[in-house]
Chains A and B, each alone.
Chain A
Amino acid sequence: MAQAASIGGEQHGPQGFWTKYVFSQDHKIIAMQYSSTAILVGVLGMVMSWVIRLQLGFPGQFDFISPSTYYQTITLHGMIMVVYLLTALLLGGFGNYFIPLMIGARDMAFPYLNMLSYWFYFLSVIVLLASFFVPGGPTGAGWTLYPPQSITAGTPGSGMGILVMLTSLVIFIVATTMGGLNYITTVLQLRAKGMTLMRMPLTVWGVFVASIIALLAFPALFVGGVMLLLDRVVGSSFFMPAVVSLGQQLDYKGGSPLLFQHLFWYFGHPEVYIVALPAFGLASDIISCHARKPIFGYRMMVWAIVAIGGISFTVWAHHMFVSGMNPYFGFFFASTTLVIAIPTAIKVYNWVLTLWGGSIRLVTPMLFAIGFVSTFLVGGLTGLFLGNVVVDIPLTDTYFVIAHFHLVMGVSAIMAIFAGIYQWFPKITGRMLSEGLGRLHFWVTFIGVYALFFPMHYLGFLGVPRRYFAYEGVNFIPPSAAGLNVFISVAALVTGAAQLVLLFNLAWSVFKGKKAEDNPWQATTLEWQTPHTPPRHGNWGAELPVVNRWAYDYSVPGAPQDYLPQNYETPAEQPQRAST
């Protein structure tokens, strides 16, 4: 059905079904495409986590889980969750939907590029899934893909699987680069009148700085991936010294496995902040809204985001403390890592101080936002162990690390995402999610993740190594640890099942949810002030908004209501504006 669309004076040509809905250049539709793809692939990643926990909780009980399957599963689980779920959902999903709306723009600066970036992401997912069908199956090298093992015999998928994985990553990086260029340009160039940088909501700051980090960090993964591909395909020796693999002398010579690790982690550490910074931003805006209080220390929050972004490029080798690199590097990287804890701690204090003196309503998004703070706290604190090089030595490559990174990324970032979903579903769909199901989802998830991951730290204190298919030959582990593993597995399965509640809630509420008002949470940020809910193409109708205040005017003394939208003018402010 072709129709001419007119928005704010701009004429569109007639749009067919394909241009309007499939190859859409509307940032909101692209955001939905990113989000649904990411969530679907994330569900696959979650099912994989169940397979891992089945093997660890009940070793030997499931014939279909061989060492090969196990290692392929942990690899795909990690890669899917970090890259294809979290990065895609936070930048491609949340970033795409909210940047134009929160800054008062009609769309991204480069809508066509935006559309392309989604389809490249989609292609990268297809290629990744294709690795299940190639001879030898997907790579089982661990999500970190370290050579020499990722490309030599003895590791699952070292034939074809690794090639497919690297190809998929290269395509993903193209998509992310396109996206990053878009988000940065849009924030810098398309802010509405009156929307200075220091009036932007922290969600935008989080995605903005994350995008800058992404453009600077992903290239390291790109070149590392290409060099690894070359080592595997043409026999170059970027990362390959002379080795004897399962009895065969290989032709490589002179390369350095550590070079790959430096390249990988130069990307890999900033990557976790690419995930964390948008999560921080979401949490700030949601906590502020539901405490009816401005975010505490907005300027400091912005500087903390920028500082974390900058310092994140100086800490990478804390992933390599026992890698065999020059041991003196340990002094430097331990210092920078513990320094980055300072701006991060400030953010935690400021969330807590935002709650102080507030008028807190514990609706589902707020529950998840507070859950984010609590789980980020424990995950971040364990970072202080791992960053302090000599304390890292007994703990690295044990379950302590697994507990740490799951809590900071797999739990707290996901909690922020859930908070965002519950917060903005009404704006995106025009309907409310079921509050009852939302609470059920929250309680099982929040208690479940603590049950799951808190005890895991103690397996790490014991010294239980990670990436083990089974622990039969290992005697120092007390038999009671087997019981603990059963407990953790059961908690994981129950917590995983609870996520189905959210999926059901989403599917049901899209059609049957209570109709939402334009601004059900009485929030100040611009996206809630659109003339229509859901926002239509062009977002603002005939006139772009004009911004008069910052993003956090909640409970302003003397104001007529307990929130002042960013484009709201008090009677006192009105006469100042000249006629349009």
Chain B
Amino acid sequence: MALAIVLVLIVVGAVAFHLWSPWWFTPLASNWGQIDMMLVVTIALTGVVFVAINLLIAYEIVRFRRRKKQTASYVHENSKLEWTLIVLTSIGVVALLAPGLFVYSEFVSPPPNAIVLEAVGQQWQWSFRLPGADGRLGRTNVRHIGTHNWFGIDPNDPYGQDDILVEDSEIHLPLGVPVKVLLRSKDVLHDFYVPQFRVKMDIVPGSVSSLWFTPTRTGTFDLVCAEYCGLGHYAMNGKVVVESPEAYQAWLSTNKDFAHELAEGASTPNAEKTPDDILIETGEHLAQAKGCLGCHTTDGRSSVGPTWKGLFGKQETLGDGTQVTVDGAYIKESIVDPTAKVVKGFPPAMPAFSQLTDEELKALVRYIQTLSDSPKDK
């Protein structure tokens, strides 16, 4: 009896929760309203079955409870009933599958006029590439990745020269224009997911996957990684900014292209740079190469590890309550023995980088120093 009541309460509670809880689809910002429709249809159909069967069980355990002088029925077969149920269930299955596959066929068919965007995933940040004026992305290979070529673009491919590079985790898109996102990874599996756009797709190193959508309202949306990719998976957050085509064009022109990136590497002959310049440059490139920027930001945002902006010279409190001033010695120690003095509030998650040479450590320290505001550093 109590079980019947509880089953009824569960049904009532579930329906009430569904109708009145504040947690629902994050408001749609793309053309994929049909996915929302399929979700609602599925909820309706499964909801009806959930309610009906639980209520039926509740009824049965009351109506057919054990009573003296009442035996159970021996009837245990009813071919007609079983086949009817099979047919009805099959109809239900087809009712879900047919529209679902129809919408899916649109998912696998990006419109021919879609603009192309490449999203590159790496542990634990995003970067982006656009094809530039020639409309084609240059060939890439992981083996080309290095200083001044973080995207691994083949320097000999002419199509790559005008590729527009966006090296921070924020990408802009023009409102109302379908975009096909090509997905590439440098290291491990990742997944490109913006909840408001509904669509997601894993990023597989060694191949290129894709998805498409059309942004239908302006705003700034979270880009989250949706395939576990290691310690910093939860911190691999980017932003997609959807704006008017004019604003988008303005933003576009603020990004450099691959040709310029290559030129930067070649331009200032080292003879014209001071030793300090070279040290800072080396430090900056090491920070990218060694994956430091996967967990430490340079713009003040907190991530898996403390931000480097304003770090040098700062007073930090360690996990055990003691205070420490961040100087070169502390930074070097934290690189080769990261769990020795962990800043309070951060997890002891950093791997030890014990193979760095003294020169490399010096470069990193110098680079981190330049990210503090103290005038004596410049």
Contacts and interface: CB of A to CB of B under 8 A. Distances in A.
Interface string A462-496: 11011111111111101011001000000000000
Interface string A441-456: 0010011001000110
B291 A247 contact: yes
A467 B228 contact: yes
Contact of B206 (A257, A338, A471): A257
A137 B231 CA distance: 14
Nearest to B233: A467
Contacts of A354: 76
A468 B104 contact: no
Contacts of B204: 257-258, 323-324
Given A468-B234, A552-B76, A388 B97 contact: yes
A246 interface: yes
Contacts of A296: 76-78
Contacts of A153: 351
Interface in A15-74: 60, 63, 66-68, 71
Contacts of B374: none
B108 A328 contact: yes
Interface in B85-110: 85-86, 89-90, 93, 96-97, 100-101, 103-105, 107-108
A481 B81 CA distance: 44
Given A355-B57, A556-B74, A385 B226 contact: no
Contact of B61 (A149, A370, A455, A472): A370
A342 B83 CA distance: 11
A361 B187 CA distance: 59
Interface size, B (range): 35 or more
B39 interface: yes
A542 B183 CA distance: 70
Interface string B204-218: 111101000000000
B195 A463 contact: yes
A153 B229 CA distance: 11
A293 B72 contact: yes
A292 B72 contact: yes
A358 B73 contact: yes
Given A246-B291, A374-B10, A397-B191, A385 B24 contact: no
Interface size, A (range): 35 or more
B178 interface: no
A360 B108 CA distance: 52
A154 B34 CA distance: 38
Interface in B208-254: 209, 221-222, 224-235, 237
Contacts of B122: 244
Interface stretch (A161-169, A174-182, A345-353, A414-422): A345-353
A383 to B, nearest CB: 9
Given A63-B319, A323-B202, A361-B66, A377 B232 contact: no
Given A388-B97, A469-B233, 7 more contacts: A154-B123, A254-B206, A357-B75, A377-B49, A385-B39, A397-B193, A462-B25
Interface of A: 60, 63, 66-68, 71, 140-142, 146, 148-149, 152-156, 241-247, 249, 254-258, 291-300, 322-324, 327-328, 330-331, 334-335, 338-339, 341-342, 345-346, 348-350, 352-362, 367, 370, 373-374, 377-378, 381-382, 384-385, 388-391, 393-394, 396-398, 443, 446-447, 450, 454-455, 458-459, 461-463, 465-476, 478, 480-481, 484, 552, 554-557, 562
27 contacts: A66-B347, A66-B348, A68-B348, A140-B231, A148-B187, A249-B142, A293-B73, A295-B76, A298-B76, A299-B77, A324-B183, A331-B104, A331-B105, A341-B89, A345-B89, A346-B86, A355-B60, A381-B49, A390-B101, A394-B200, A397-B227, A462-B195, A463-B26, A463-B195, A467-B228, A478-B22, A554-B72
